[in-house]
Amino acid sequence: MKALAYSLLAAGTALVAFAAPAQAATCQLNDITGPQAADACEGYVTGNIFNNGGTNPETVADMLDALGFADAYTLDYSSLWSDPDFKLSNLNGATSLSFGGAPEMFGDTYIGIHWGGQGGGQSAIYKISLTDPTAMINIVGQNPGGTSNAVLFGTQPATPVVPEPATWAMMIAGFGLVGGAMRRRSLSVTFA
């Protein structure tokens, strides 16, 4: 009976291992350096998950969701992974990332990095809270594989596109004050 219990336990463990993506280690927050150090990360998942293969979109969506990314399950991953403005390929160990589609990154920014290396390398997603707009993210490169490719999943615009309600209120009040001052001004005309 004990042998049957151990067999069932081993079979259950094997099923869990196949159901979850393989992780070689836990991602390191210090993979991203400087004032834009990572606040949180998910990974390292074995292989390059930033493509349309197998269950990659679901794995990426689950990782983004765990980091608090609101649109994790509604992103069009196939378009994102083929867009050169948001996906950088053939990085060859580069230690700085600059995305053409987002010249300035700001606020909560989510970046996926595939680290190359033997056995398909590893992939991780990083959440970075940027307090100042930046066009460049710096990588330590402590991961032995070096950067292979990267994806920008989301960032906030550096400047608000639509003014906030308080800004509208101040602008309308200012127009009212200027209009009132102009109306009260008396015009005196003198003839010579």
Cα R_g (the chain), whole angstroms: 26
Angle CA 52–56–61, to nearest 5: 115
Give the model's pLDDT for residue 14.
40
Has residue 166 got a pLDDT over 80?
no
Give the model's pLDDT for residue 141.
60
Give the model's pLDDT for residue 118.
64
Which residues contact residue 18 at a Cβ distance below 8 angstroms, ignoring those fewer than 6 apart?
none
Asked whether the beta carbons of 122 and 43 are under 8 A apart, the reply is yes
Q: Tell me the pTM.
A: 0.68
In SS3 terms, 41-74 reads as EEEEEECCCCCCCCCHHHHHHHHHHHCCCCCCCC
The more confident residue out of 111 and 160 is 111
Give the model's pLDDT for residue 188.
65
Q: Which 8-state DSSP code applies to residue 143? A: S
Q: Average pLDDT of 156-185?
A: 72
Domain regions of the chain by residue span: 18-182
Has residue 58 got a pLDDT over 60?
yes
